[in-house]
Amino acid sequence: MSPELNNLTLNRSKGKRKPVYQQVVQYLKNAIETNNIGTGQHLQTVAEFANNLKVGYSTIDTAFDVLEQDGLISRNTKRGKGPIVLGCNKGTINFTRWRGCAIFISMAEGIEEYARENKIKVVITDAMQNSKRYLDMISHAPNDADGLILFPWDSPEYHSAVADAVKSGTRIVFIDRIISNMDLSSVSIDHFGGAYQATRHLIETHSSPVYYVGYTDKPSSANQRYKGWLEAMKQYRRDLEYQNFVCEFFKSEAETAAMPDDEWIQPGCDKIVDLFKTKPQEKYCFFTCNDDAAVLIYKAAQKQGLEIGKDVFIASFGDNPYCKNLAVPLTSVSQFDREVGYEAAKLLHYEIKGICKHSMHKILPAKLNIRQSSTGKISI
């Protein structure tokens, strides 16, 4: 019999006070809370438990369900392995978001979903798009926070604040992006793969090179989208000078992060108009690093009397709800922010428990949603 069952004696009599599954729950709960079964240890599978205790499969299955609901184990493990023990200290997660917008709301929903399922506490703070406040929130996280989920920025001040938090013992998981010189865990969508899919789709559909519109260096998410675009271009068009097809509105996201929309939208639109004027072509193909940049191309095309889905073809990244509702629906890569938030909370929880002892970069698959902006307008 497995060591975790050595002292388990079941009362199987007809007049027993507790059903057998509750006896199993109580025994394992006590063993976990007293650390006789350590955090990170795998229990036996349901079948193994049932066989060793000579009880029905459903009895152990029900007991495991109860323990999972109490946040003591996780059954989401590799095939053939039993549940992993999470321990009795549930932990507190703090999500420090940059501002209140749809992306961060969706991420927060995923984080809160994981917290509810595992009965752990989550605190959400909002920097309201203020850099100083954001840095203060990292440096002075709530005292009861066992770990932070952060949306990282590439700036010396941010790097310093994060490094200080790590030195003080705070566990941190980055969400959506990474900082390359920091060995911290992260969860993101597959920025590279999504960009590659979108660019390949445009090239294969139109047999035409594709312009890249967006940042090329920082943040890491944009850099990976740029590299995905570049990989697709290299696979299909080795005859080109690729830099001739790069349109950067600004050198870095930091230049636009605190700007009101009216300060960067017009200059961006003007740059696309200049491209249309200086590089006349029968048709243009664009991959944009986000949906807002794609909308600028819609505006620029209208100014020049060009039609989306006829003269100009676009694929983008983010798949905001408005993509379906544009005059010509926009092809875009889903970002799955809620799922990213859920997985970030799970990874941080596992780090708090000591189950994950090394940094991990988890990437969720991207999905390209093809619409008329990249394939052509539908005639009515």
Cα 158 to its chain centre, rounded Å, is 20
User: What is the model's pLDDT at position 253?
Assistant: 60
Q: Which residue has the higher pLDDT, 29 or 108?
A: 108
Report the length, in residues, of the chain.
Answer: 380
Cα 352 to its chain centre, rounded Å, is 19
Q: Which of 2-16, 34-48, 61-75, 277-291 has the lowest mean pLDDT?
A: 2-16
What is the radius of gyration, based on Cα positions, of the chain? 26
User: What is the model's pLDDT at position 378?
Assistant: 55
Q: If pLDDT is split at 50, 70 and 90, which confidence band does 140 have?
A: confident
Q: Tell me the per-residue pLDDT of 198-226, one tens digit each, with 9 for 90 and over.
A: 999 999 999 999 999 998 988 899 999 99
Domains of the chain, each with CATH number or no CATH: 3-85 (1.10.10.10), 92-189+338-364 (3.40.50.2300), 191-335+367-375 (3.40.50.2300)
pTM of the model: 0.80
Are 219 and 177 in contact by the 8 Å Cβ rule? The answer is: yes
Report the distance separating Cα 262 and Cα 269, nearest Å. 11
Q: Tell me the per-residue pLDDT of 317-358, one tens digit each, with 9 for 90 and over.
A: 999 999 999 999 999 999 999 999 999 999 999 888 877 878
Q: Which residue has the higher pLDDT, 287 or 239?
A: 287
DSSP structure string for 34-57: TTSS-TTPBPPPHHHHHHHHT--H
User: What is the model's pLDDT at position 172?
Assistant: 94
Average pLDDT over residues 130-136: 88
Average pLDDT value over all residues in the chain: 87
